[in-house]
Chain A
Amino acid sequence: NAGVTQTPKFQVLKTGQSMTLQCAQDMNHEYMSWYRQDPGMGLRLIHYSVGAGITDQGEVPNGYNVSRSTTEDFPLRLLSAAPSQTSVYFCASSAQGQANEKLFFGSGTQLSVL
């Protein structure tokens, strides 16, 4: 049982480039979410999904797109990378609402935008 898998682990982009961070879970969890972690700012929610076909914005959604075509996958797309998007990105999932079930995290993607 792999849990929550994120790829890639490291990525360097130039300003203006686009890319997709991948996230997959094999626990049949309904809820999936993306957080970014920055020094001094803690973890902040970018986007989340309560099930296939349903997504919503979190605290810091600008510059990011998501879609949820399957229960297993929840990719995060950076449309035009900016230096302010340099961060560590975590994908997380839970069985029901995050309020009622433990949250499982992936190992993270460290992104640098030059």
Chain B
Amino acid sequence: KQEVTQIPAALSVPEGENLVLNCSFTDSAIYNLQWFRQDPGKGLTSLLLIQSSQREQTSGRLNASLDKSSGRSTLYIAASQPGDSATYLCAVPYTGANSKLTFGKGITLSVRP
């Protein structure tokens, strides 16, 4: 069974800092990996999707990388802002099934002004 881990559960940084959020998964035979953002009381918004054949994806100040062999992905946030404060979750398809996702529990990020 696929397991996804995100450590630490919470992170607080000063505004302007570059930061890296980590995601690890147990089964490297994945089709892709998605990073999501969740604001308090809201649904999830997909930020980046990395296909298994890709090593990274970029959107604005966000860059996500994928290393299947080591079972790891990172989300890099450049020049963090208070508006980046949210919970960030990663998700991969279930082992052997490409239509269901397993989510990590998320990292709650707080960016201090």
Binding site for B on A (CB under 8 A): 4, 31, 33, 35, 40-45, 48, 50, 58, 90, 92, 97-108
Q: Are A99 and B32 in contact (CB under 8 A)?
A: yes
In whole angstroms, what is the CA distance A102 to B91 when docked? Answer: 11
- Of B16-24, B62-70, B78-86, B97-105, the one contacting chain A is B97-105
Q: Which residue of A lies closest to B98 (CB)?
A: A99
Number of B positions contacting A (CB below 8 A): 23
Given contacts A48-B99, A98-B101, A108-B43, 13 further A-B contacts (CB under 8 A): A35-B103, A42-B104, A43-B89, A45-B101, A58-B100, A98-B100, A99-B98, A102-B49, A103-B36, A103-B101, A107-B42, A107-B43, A108-B41
In whole angstroms, what is the CA distance A42 to B102 when docked? Answer: 9
Residues on A with C-beta less than 8 A from B104 are 42
B28 in contact (CB, < 8 A): no
Q: Are A45 and B100 in contact (CB under 8 A)?
A: yes
- 7 A-B pairs with the lowest CB-CB distances in the bound complex, closest first: A99-B98, A105-B43, A99-B31, A102-B46, A42-B105, A43-B103, A99-B93
Select which of A40, A98, A107 is within 8 A of B98 by beta carbon. A98
Q: Which residue of B lies closest to A31 (CB)?
A: B99
Q: Are B46 and A104 in contact (CB under 8 A)?
A: yes
B54 in contact (CB, < 8 A): no
B34 in contact (CB, < 8 A): yes
Q: Which residue of B lies closest to A6 (CB)?
A: B43
Residues on A with C-beta less than 8 A from B46 are 102-104
In whole angstroms, what is the CA distance A92 to B103 when docked? Answer: 13
Q: 29 interchain pairs (CB within 8 A)?
A: A4-B43, A31-B99, A35-B103, A40-B105, A42-B105, A43-B44, A43-B89, A43-B91, A45-B100, A45-B101, A50-B99, A90-B43, A90-B44, A97-B99, A98-B98, A98-B99, A99-B31, A99-B98, A99-B99, A100-B31, A100-B51, A100-B98, A103-B34, A103-B91, A103-B101, A105-B36, A106-B43, A107-B43, A108-B43
